[in-house]
Amino acid sequence: MTQTPKTDQPNWWREAIIYQVYPRSFLDTNGDGVGDLAGITDKLDYIASLGVDIVWLSPFFKSPMKDFGYDIEDYCDVDPLFGTLADFDRLIAKAHSLGLKIMIDQVMSHTADTHSWFVESRSSRDNPKSDWYVWADPLPDGNPPNNWLSVFGGSAWQWDTRRKQYYMHNFLVSQPQLNFHNPEVQQAHLDAQRFWLERGVDGVRMDACVFHFHDRQLRSNPPALVRDTSTVTDVNPYGMQAHIHDKTQPENVAFLQKVRKLLDEYGAISIGEVSSDDALAQMAEYTEGGDKLHMAYSFNLLTPVFTAAHVRQQVEEFNARVKDGWASWSVGNHDAIRVMTRWGGEKPAPALAKLVLAMQLSLKGTPCLYQGDELALVEADVPYELLQDPYGKTFWPEFKGRDGCRTPMPWEANAPQAGFTEGTPWLPVAEPHVANAVDVQDRDPASMLNFQRRFIAWRRSMPQLTRGEIAFFDAPEPVLALRRDVDGHDSVLAAFNLSDKAVGFDWPATAGAAALNEHGLPGTAEGGRVTLPPYGTWFGSLPAGR
């Protein structure tokens, strides 16, 4: 059973670890090839064995599944593909019995076009929900009202013949944008959140939370002075605009305060997904003050950039901008190429997985881990004919979409479909993943899976790593060197070699440090010189005050 941080302590979530489950690909119990809530419930013991505290579930709500659950048709029901409300209640009950907390995904900025709200809104210009979505008249020449673009390609505006107007969509055409300037829309979302909080949900992850509001004047975006490649790839023209009018509007702060007030009634927590031109600034704004989001994460560590300077810059800039807010550092999720491939190439060294985990869990912030990364899974190669992601189909072949990080979890190496399903999986089980299956790694004390369990347990015993302040040292690239400090405890020093070549460097601060070897990583330090093998890590303890 996991040892969850004491929730009667203020800010307990700052010491926690989040584990993301992508339900479609976790475990299928009914043979239809799609993972379900019952499958997650069956594997909660496994999740608890990792030592994590919070389980974030990607959407399982009723949906036409054009964006695989991120296009919601009913915010207060479970899609039959995943099960029933009773299945969800059983999941909550078992999670709580194991000391795990459940966080659900709240996709608020848009709905599916099959949602009853949109069906009514598009029916006329004067119905009760006519202003629940973002509608606009065409320009005199028939063009859309401005130059806003969709993240998934093309214009952010779609012509609707019923109203003879354009409606806005930041993502798929089938994901119309809600009008958050309408207080009824805000209240509808708060009511839906209360529905799940009443069922025992412990937190919410707010998807695309910078997209809630738009510029009322519908002003066009200017060209980007620096192209954004952290959120979108360089083949996507979306990055060519400075997105100052279609998202990150100031009105969003007041809405987040309403959400926080509701969550506080239930002692629940929140994490926001921030994708903007200056994500660190938005993270700081949305988390400071204790009256908005509890924490936020960006895509800044979900990019191909893997250098010590980049990691240091993200943490230092956030800490410089924020007063009392909090970051969640994520290196993998359902929207990004698997970290082993993104940072390690086509044939990544196994040691990379341990290095990345140790580094991520040593940064100041709440770590968010993605299912399968504990198995060191690489990005799956999904052929075009089996591709499901509409985003990938639009930008193929230079960008293959998100299916490669969403393929099924491999549970048993010798079972059909690696134990994921008795049917045909919605995405193919990746052949390279089979050898890394859970049952194989369970039996190997040196596996990535067992390393993760040991490292998380060790980190939990180190208050310096869970709640200490952080400071970085100048070190030669590719070395990230840092210090974590908390009152009443010795300092912890850590050095990470972010390359596949051995590195040695002088670090005088380590001269009097005692090695911390509980984690079994292979770096050494002697006489103020640190030696790190490829993807090596060293931890040391320094008496307080030195």
pLDDT at 228: 65
Locate tokens 């050494």: which residue? 524
Tokens of 323: 């007063």
| Sign of the dihedral defined by the CA atoms of residues 403, 404, 405, 407, in that order | positive
pLDDT at 3: 46
265 has catalytic annotation: yes
Q: What is the mean pLDDT of residues 174-195?
A: 98
381 has catalytic annotation: no
Dist. CA 470–CA 314, nearest whole Å: 13
Question: Of residues 36, 53, 73, 207, which has the active-site annotation?
Answer: 207
pLDDT at 227: 72
Q: Which amino acid is at 144?
A: P
DSSP sequence for 182-249: SHHHHHHHHHHHHHHHHTT--EEEEETGGGS---TT-PPPPBPSS---SSS-TT-GGGGB--SSSS--
24-33, 180-189, 390-399: least confident range? 390-399
Residue 8 has pLDDT above 70, yes or no: no
Residue 486 has pLDDT above 60, yes or no: yes
Q: What is the mean pLDDT of residues 469-494?
A: 97
Q: Tell me the backbone φ, ψ of residue 54, rounded to 5 degrees.
A: -125, 130
3-state SS class at 352: helix
Q: What is the mean pLDDT of residues 506-517?
A: 91
123: number of CA atoms within 13 Å, CB side?
11
Domain ranges across the chain: 12-109+180-213+249-458, 468-542
Dist. CA 384–CA 466, nearest whole Å: 43
What does the pLDDT look like over 422-463, one tens digit per residue? Answer: 999 999 999 999 999 999 999 999 999 999 999 999 999 999
- Confidence band of 487 (pLDDT split at 50, 70, 90): very high
What does the pLDDT look like over 298-317, one tens digit per residue? Answer: 999 999 999 999 999 999 99
- Confidence band of 545 (pLDDT split at 50, 70, 90): low
pLDDT at 2: 42
Higher confidence at residue 420 or residue 6?
Answer: 420
Do residues 62 and 74 make contact, with C-beta atoms less than 8 angstroms apart?
Answer: yes
Fold agreement between 12-109+180-213+249-458 and 468-542: no
Homologous superfamily (CATH) of 468-542 is Golgi alpha-mannosidase II (2.60.40.1180)
What does the pLDDT look like over 95-127, one tens digit per residue? Answer: 999 999 999 999 999 999 999 999 999 999 999
Q: Tell me the backbone φ, ψ of residue 186, rounded to 5 degrees.
A: -60, -45
| Sign of the dihedral defined by the CA atoms of residues 238, 301, 19, 108, in that order | negative
- Confidence band of 7 (pLDDT split at 50, 70, 90): low
Q: Tell me the percentage of the chain whose pLDDT exceeds 90.
A: 93
Do residues 363 and 470 make contact, with C-beta atoms less than 8 angstroms apart?
Answer: yes
Fold exhibited by the domain 12-109+180-213+249-458: TIM Barrel (3.20.20)
Tell me, yes or no, if the pTM score tops 0.85: yes
Tokens of 317: 């800039």
pLDDT at 544: 76
Question: Of residues 8, 141, 265, 385, which has the active-site annotation?
Answer: 265
DSSP sequence for 12-45: GGGG--EEEE-GGGT--SSSSSS--HHHHHHTHH
Quote the mean pLDDT of the chain.
Answer: 95
